Amino acid sequence: MNARALLIVALAAGLLTACGGNSDEPPVAVDERVVPTSATASPLAYTDYVATRPLEDALEPLVVQAVVPPVSDVDEPLPLR
Amino acid sequence: MICNSRAPFAPLAPLLGAALLATCGLATASSHREAPFITTVPKVDATDFYLFRSYEGGRSDYITVVANYVPLQDAYGGPNYFAMDPNALYEIHLDNNGDAVEDISFQFRFQNKLAGGSGVTLPIGGKNVAIPLVQAGAVTGPSSPSLNLAETFTLDIKRGDRRKGSTAAVTNASGGSTSFPKPVDNIGVKTIPDYAGYAAQHIYTVNIPGCAMPAKVFVGQRQDPFAVNLGTIFDLVNAPVEVITNPALINAVPNTIADKNVTTLALEVHSSCLVKDDPVVGGWTSASLRQARLLDGSPMAGHQTAEKVGGAWTQVSRLGMPLVNEVVIGLKDKDKFNASKPHGDGQFIDYVTNPTLPALLEIALGLPGIAPTNFPRNDLVTTFLTGIAGVNQPRNVVASEMLRLNTTIPAVPFAQQNRLGIVGNILAGGNDNAGFPNGRRPKDDVVDIALVAVMGGLCVANGTTNALGFGTACNPSAVPLGATAFSLHDAVDQAVVPLLPAFPYLNTPLPGSR
């Protein structure tokens, strides 16, 4: 393979890496302890989010200090069954 | 005593029947830790509910409503004592047209704030360090600078549906504020030397939007006004039969909760504010929590920061006539009852038509065959769910469980009140029809009245001629105890509990130290 072809291969490899084609990089970790924004979109969403939290002995608590739960003084409770 | 009176029933049959019906209606006293879930959230556990025409001199045109919460408080329960839950909604509901739906609701919300935002600190070795107590010195008046924790509350009146009705804030008649300081609990005589005087400074005259006359409100700790042989009752009525059937022994044993305090929400409202077209007003109290809660594993500095609550208000406590959820509703349905509303009470009808308490008494006392046999117990249904015709039954009543007060029946001074309410008054030939089940006053011995009722006193009075209209099945032959039913009591006399002569009527709480 001549030098020109080697350069093309090298450039192509670089482009693939830039396009995320490098399978050696680890995936972005999702912090499961963060309350998603969608959970505080409405009182219903918050209630539904809390209701669907799994019973799991191995989980760490959610980080909630910055959470501002939405409230409603007029809604009826969400049916849970 | 009264229960053995030979008062003529026949001439007074309608009123007596009504009274007996009302008293038979399972209207017993108190509701402490009565359901599985509520035991986990004591700050929203309603213990007693009272509804009566004020009997303080000159106040008979006012109606006093009292809802007690947080049962079995030991006076020494520091360092945090028993502040109300700022994440809860406490309500008193009133139905003034008999349709089993609230027309007026008084809503109490609480705010508990550390002094200066982060609490009182002391300079220790060059550093300001937060103190561990709710007080930093003696406390003598509202909003005392010695308080490390300031408890306040707001009060709204809601007309119509409790959630979707119209809301207006109740305001202090002096100054117009919507926020009211709540007295700290009775920590002890060194912190608060004159607690009675201190607490009295927290009785507020208020203006209620839409009401022509000012009202009074008090929120604070009181001595538990309920008298009962609590441990004995729940230990399969661990008492000799000859004691609990002897009227001479109505106060034979100590009141086991005499050394306990509760937290009281008390209102005194002019009847014109509550009464519409029907003189009978029904009432009950409820408490709600936010439906969703997340616990914070790393709470921020502050007061009660360990939870993040959201969502809708969800009712977890309900109390109208006392002892319903304690000794009537089955264990499997107690949480359901606490979440229910009066208009849905048909779901609990079997507990009233086929009550288990008489059969349990048979087992507990080792006396088979003493339970009344008239099934369904329509005597209890009538008393319990509609009020007494001619006494406190609304014109267009929808059957439902709540306390009902006829606001036109005159109040009676304390000294003349009959401890057995209407039925006791009739048996004694007196003039006191202002007592239970026509509402409920602190002096009414609802435990004794309920025992008489549930064990067939109504049917004895109904006689063989259906004199009281309970139906022919409700007659003396259905009451194995016969007239002895009128002698039943729990050996603790409600009438000797110390009370105040005026609003809020309930006694100064016991101090944490003396």
Per-residue pLDDT averaged across B238-253, rounded? 88
Q: Which residues of B335-361 are buried (b: 16+ CB within 10 A; e: fewer)?
A: bbbbbbbbeebeebeebbeebebbeeb
Q: Are B93 and B84 in contact (CB under 8 A)?
A: no
Read off the pLDDT band of B77 (50, 70, 90). Answer: very high
Residue A59 within any structural domain of the chain: yes
Minimal Cβ distance to A71: which of B290, B294, B296: B290
Q: Is the pLDDT of residue B1 over 50?
A: no
Instruction: Determine whether the interchain pair B310/A46 forms a contact, defined as Cβ–Cβ distance below 8 Å.
Output: yes
Whether the CB of B166 is below 8 Å from some CB of chain A: the reply is no
Q: Contacts of residue A45 in chain B, CB cutoff 8 Å?
A: none
Q: How many domains does chain A have?
A: 1
Q: Are B152 and B179 in contact (CB under 8 A)?
A: yes
Q: Contacts of residue A63 in chain B, CB cutoff 8 Å?
A: 297-298
Residue A49 within any structural domain of the chain: yes
- Which pLDDT does position B4 carry in this prediction? 31
The C-alpha atoms of residue A36 and residue B131 are separated, in whole angstroms, by 37
pTM score, two decimals?
0.88
Cα radius of gyration (chain A): 24
DSSP classification of residue B287: E
Q: Contacts of residue B163 in chain A, CB cutoff 8 Å?
A: 73-76
The C-alpha atoms of residue B385 and residue B456 are separated, in whole angstroms, by 17
Beta strands in B26-148 (DSSP E): 46-53, 62-74, 88-95, 104-114, 121-124, 127-130
Greatest mean pLDDT among A53-57, B292-296, B388-392 lies in: B292-296
Q: Which two tokens stand for residue B497?
A: 């509990």
The single-letter code of the amino acid at B472 is T
Q: Is the ipTM of this complex over 0.85?
A: no
Instruction: Determine whether the interchain pair B311/A78 forms a contact, defined as Cβ–Cβ distance below 8 Å.
Output: yes
The C-alpha atoms of residue A35 and residue A38 are separated, in whole angstroms, by 8
Residue A53 within any structural domain of the chain: yes
- Report the Cα B483 to chain-centroid distance in Å: 30
Per-residue pLDDT averaged across B317-335, rounded? 94
- Which pLDDT does position A31 carry in this prediction? 80
Q: Are B148 and B120 in contact (CB under 8 A)?
A: yes
Residue A45 within any structural domain of the chain: yes
Residue A75 within any structural domain of the chain: no
Specify the 3-state DSSP secondary structure of B292.
strand
The C-alpha atoms of residue B187 and residue B476 are separated, in whole angstroms, by 53
Read off the pLDDT band of B382 (50, 70, 90). Answer: confident
Whether the CB of B168 is below 8 Å from some CB of chain A: the reply is no
Instruction: Determine whether the interchain pair A43/B311 forms a contact, defined as Cβ–Cβ distance below 8 Å.
Output: yes
Q: Is the pLDDT of residue B12 over 50?
A: no
- Which pLDDT does position B79 carry in this prediction? 94
DSSP classification of residue A21: -
Nearest Cα neighbor of B488 from B320, B237, B258 is: B237
Q: Which two tokens stand for residue B373?
A: 């046999």
Nearest Cα neighbor of B241 from B493, B487, B492, B478 is: B487
The single-letter code of the amino acid at B379 is D
Q: Is the pLDDT of residue A69 over 70?
A: yes
- Which pLDDT does position B2 carry in this prediction? 24
The single-letter code of the amino acid at B109 is R
The C-alpha atoms of residue B347 and residue B342 are separated, in whole angstroms, by 10
Instruction: Determine whether the interchain pair A43/B298 forms a contact, defined as Cβ–Cβ distance below 8 Å.
Output: no
Whether the CB of B128 is below 8 Å from some CB of chain A: the reply is no
Read off the pLDDT band of A56 (50, 70, 90). Answer: confident
Residue B476: is the preceding peptide bond cis (ω within 30°)?
no
Burial zone of B37 (CB within 10 Å; 0-12 exposed, 13-18 middle, 19+ buried):
middle
What is the CB neighbour count within 10 angstroms for residue B411? 23
Residue A11 within any structural domain of the chain: no
Per-residue pLDDT averaged across B186-210, rounded? 98
The C-alpha atoms of residue B408 and residue B179 are separated, in whole angstroms, by 33
Instruction: Determine whether the interchain pair B311/A69 forms a contact, defined as Cβ–Cβ distance below 8 Å.
Output: yes
Specify the 3-state DSSP secondary structure of B211.
coil
- Which pLDDT does position B429 carry in this prediction? 82
- Which pLDDT does position B15 carry in this prediction? 26
The C-alpha atoms of residue B55 and residue B57 are separated, in whole angstroms, by 6
Would you say the C-alpha torsion B29, B35, B40, B41 has a positive or negative sign?
negative
Instruction: Determine whether the interchain pair B295/A61 forms a contact, defined as Cβ–Cβ distance below 8 Å.
Output: yes
Read off the pLDDT band of A32 (50, 70, 90). Answer: confident
Residue A5 within any structural domain of the chain: no
Q: Contacts of residue B91 in chain A, CB cutoff 8 Å?
A: none
Whether the CB of B163 is below 8 Å from some CB of chain A: the reply is yes
B212-221, B380-389, B398-407: which has the minimum mean pLDDT?
A: B380-389
Q: Which strands, in side-by-side order, build the sheet including B46-53?
A: B46-53, B62-74, B260-270, B215-223, B204-207, B171-172
Residue A2 within any structural domain of the chain: no
What is the CB neighbour count within 10 angstroms for residue A76? 12
Read off the pLDDT band of B101 (50, 70, 90). Answer: very high
* A45: containing domain: 33-67
Read off the pLDDT band of A29 (50, 70, 90). Answer: low
Nearest Cα neighbor of B466 from B455, B452, B477, B454 is: B477
* DSSP structure string for B363-412: HHHT-TT-S---SS-HHHHHHHHH--TTTT--TT------EEEETTSPP-
The C-alpha atoms of residue B96 and residue B94 are separated, in whole angstroms, by 6
DSSP classification of residue B499: B
Q: Which residue has the higher pLDDT, B461 or A20?
A: B461
* Nearest-by-CA chain A residue for B309: A69
Q: Are B349 and B467 in contact (CB under 8 A)?
A: no
